[in-house]
Structures are given as structure tokens and as C-alpha cells.
């Protein structure tokens, strides 16, 4: 296990759930924005009462972090209810697309999209959420000219309310030896505004080629999907949620299946973590968050970055968290 020097990126505000991309030679960070909340903390995450997004950029990993200000707000989204959770961004043909998790007016999470001519926004939201979208944590990955979205989260993220992309009459969380619920992956349409197909399960296999079970809480998916590619392999990484780990699995294509490989980050101060992995100027970095600056308040999290390393076989070296 390695313990690298970690840097807090926005010490004057509470930002979390970073998505990170390189546009025009710069690092751009798309986080959620934590606020002090009067809502009691619960497993559904009602205390995460976010209402806007900022965008940040960096010319170098050690340099100044530029805050481009508010780029999208709940009050400007026509279909909005509450809770503007995790987001991500992508670029195609000179346009920038922000994908975001938001509860609609019936308190159901959907995924929306907003568009800009610049990576730093501001972003103009579409009038409706993406048709067929549900749950939270959109993460967009480009591969060979196609764009794929990974999404889903348990508990407050509402993934347990769906099977086969259809809503259940009652939410069901599998237990014990039942197959674990999976993240979803879907190819985006050419205009980047809709799903081009039905979402599929992101299946994670154990070392024996068997799908992970719901009771395997140290390894099964909970939320916070991310995808990156290293030496021709696809690395699907995610949070285990209530067991507080960032883990990863590898596969041979964007749809998987993926075979579990190990832990990227051990627990941090705060209930869970959420991350992005990106290569910048020849080095790899893990962006994530913890709650150290707020004194452990799980709903007031702070952005961090740390260098990420692989061994000669492509194994990610485990990083020690703050927990």
C-alpha cells in the first residue's frame, strides 16, 4: 500500500464527486457542490441538498485552480425537483455536454443533459431528462468515436427500484448469495442527447468467473462508476458504498464483463467516496473527496488529488485513505 501526498484543491468551498477530463490541454473538474443542510442525515441522502454546479480548471497539477463560477442551477432546469447530485462532461464536435443527476418533480432521479460551447460553461439544460434514464452518477467514456455512459447507485440512488430498465412496484435489494445489483452502461446517440440503445448491466466477476454476490459488500458495486483505459485494458472503477472502498475491475471492451482486481483507495473520513482517474502530462491521478476539512461532516466534502501508480502488470497500487 502506498501513501502519496494528497492536495486539497478548493479549500474555500465544499466540492465533491469529481469528474475530470482534459480539454484544450487543461484539466477540467466537474464536481457536485455541497452546502450546509438542515435536513437530518439518513441513508437516502436527503441531507445532500445540492443546488448548483461549478467548473474548475488547472494548467498543471501543482498550479492554481481556477473557479469558473456557477454553470448550472436547479432553478434553471425546467423539469427539476431537488438534489443536483453527481455530474460528468464530454466533448464532441466542438460542443460540450454536461450530464447530471437530479430528482424530478415526483422525487425520482433522472439524468439530464445541458450543452455549452465552452468546457467551462455556462451550460444550457434541455427541457426534459434523457428518455429512459434513471438513478444517479453518470460517467461518460469515449472509445473509438463512440460515447458510453455508466450510471447507477444504490439506496438513495434508487437503482434497487429497477430491473430490466423497468420500474418495480416496490424496491428490492438483493441479499446474501443473490447476484449483486449492477451499474448500467449505455451507448449515447450521435447527437449526445439521448440513449442509442437499452442500458445493459455492468457485470463484475470474481476470480472464478462468477458474478459478485450482494453479500460480498467489500467488492460489489454500490455507486460512483468511472471508466478509463490503460495499456489496451478497460478499467471499470466504483465505490462499494457502505464498506467505504474504491475498487476496480478490468475487461476487454466497454460493456464488460469485468473481472474484479482490487482496491484503489482505502476508506476516507466521510461516509463514502467518489472519484475520477485521468492521465495528465505523462502521469496518472486519482481525484476524489473526503470530509477532513469539515470535521467529518459527510455532507460537506472537499476535493482532493493524488498521484496513482500501476505496477508492471497493470495492477493499480492501493492508496491509503484518510479514514
Supply the residues annotated as catalytic: 17, 223
CA atoms within 13 A on the CB side of 298: 20
d(CA 75, CA 37) in angstroms, rounded, equals 18
DSSP letters for 125-189: EPSSPPTT--SS--EEEEETTEEEEEE--SGGG-GGGEETTEE-SS-----TTSBPP-EEEEEBP
* Torsion angle (degrees, nearest 10) of CA 14, 15, 16, 19: -170
SS3 category, 97: strand
The three cell numbers locating residue 264: 484503489
Look at residues 202, 199, 83, 51 and name the one whose alpha carbon lies nearest to residue 133.
Answer: 199
* Torsion angle (degrees, nearest 10) of CA 33, 181, 228, 111: -40
**152 to each of 120, 128, 144, 265, 282, how far by Cα in Å?**
25, 19, 24, 20, 31
d(CA 193, CA 318) in angstroms, rounded, equals 36
- Does residue 164 come out as left (phi exceeding 0), alpha (psi in the -120 to 50 range) or beta? left
Look at residues 248, 285, 291, 284 and name the one whose alpha carbon lies nearest to residue 267.
Answer: 291
- Does residue 196 come out as left (phi exceeding 0), alpha (psi in the -120 to 50 range) or beta? alpha
* Residues across the chain: 323
Q: Which residues contact 296 (CB under 8 A, 6 or more apart)?
A: 269, 270
Look at residues 86, 60, 64, 33 and name the one whose alpha carbon lies nearest to residue 281.
Answer: 60
Amino acid at each position: 500500500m502506498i501513501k502519496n501526498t494528497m492536495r486539497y484543491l478548493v479549500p474555500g468551498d465544499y466540492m465533491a464527486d469529481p469528474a475530470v477530463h482534459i480539454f484544450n490541454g487543461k484539466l477540467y473538474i466537474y464536481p457536485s457542490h455541497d452546502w450546509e443542510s438542515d435536513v437530518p442525515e439518513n441513508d437516502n441522502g436527503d441531507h445532500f441538498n445540492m443546488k448548483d454546479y461549478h467548473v474548475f480548471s488547472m494548467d498543471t497539477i501543482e498550479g492554481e485552480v481556477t473557479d469558473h463560477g456557477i454553470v448550472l442551477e436547479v432553478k434553471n432546469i425546467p423539469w427539476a425537483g431537488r438534489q443536483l447530485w453527481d455530474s460528468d462532461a464530454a466533448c464532441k464536435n466542438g460542443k460540450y455536454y454536461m450530464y447530471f443527476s437530479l430528482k424530478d418533480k415526483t422525487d425520482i432521479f433522472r439524468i439530464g443533459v445541458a450543452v455549452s460551447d465552452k468546457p467551462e460553461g455556462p451550460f444550457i439544460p434541455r427541457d426534459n431528462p434523457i428518455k429512459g434514464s434513471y438513478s444517479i452518477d453518470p460517467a461518460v467514456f469515449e472509445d473509438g468515436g463512440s460515447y458510453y455512459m455508466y450510471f447507477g447507485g444504490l439506496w438513495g440512488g434508487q437503482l434497487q427500484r429497477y430491473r430490466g430498465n423497468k420500474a418495480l412496484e416496490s424496491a428490492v435489494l438483493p441479499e446474501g448469495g443473490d447476484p449483486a445489483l449492477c451499474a448500467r452502461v449505455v451507448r449515447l446517440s450521435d447527437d449526445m442527447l439521448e440513449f442509442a440503445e437499452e442500458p445493459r448491466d455492468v457485470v463484475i466477476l470474481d476470480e472464478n468467473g462468477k458474478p459478485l454476490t450482494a453479500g460480498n459488500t467489500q467488492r460489489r458495486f454500490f455507486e460512483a462508476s468511472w471508466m478509463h483505459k490503460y495499456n489496451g485494458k478497460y478499467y471499470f472503477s466504483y465505490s462499494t458504498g457502505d464498506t467505504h472502498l474504491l475498487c476496480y475491475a478490468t475487461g476487454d471492451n466497454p460493456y464488460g464483463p469485468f473481472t474484479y482486481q482490487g482496491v484503489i483507495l482505502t476508506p476516507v473520513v466521510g461516509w463514502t467516496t467518489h472519484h475520477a482517474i485521468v492521465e495528465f502530462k505523462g502521469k496518472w491521478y486519482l481525484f476524489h473527496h473526503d470530509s477532513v476539512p469539515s470535521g467529518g461532516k459527510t455532507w460537506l466534502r472537499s476535493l482532493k488529488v493524488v498521484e496513482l501508480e500501476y505496477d508492471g502488470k497493470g495492477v493499480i497500487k492501493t492508496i491509503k485513505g484518510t479514514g
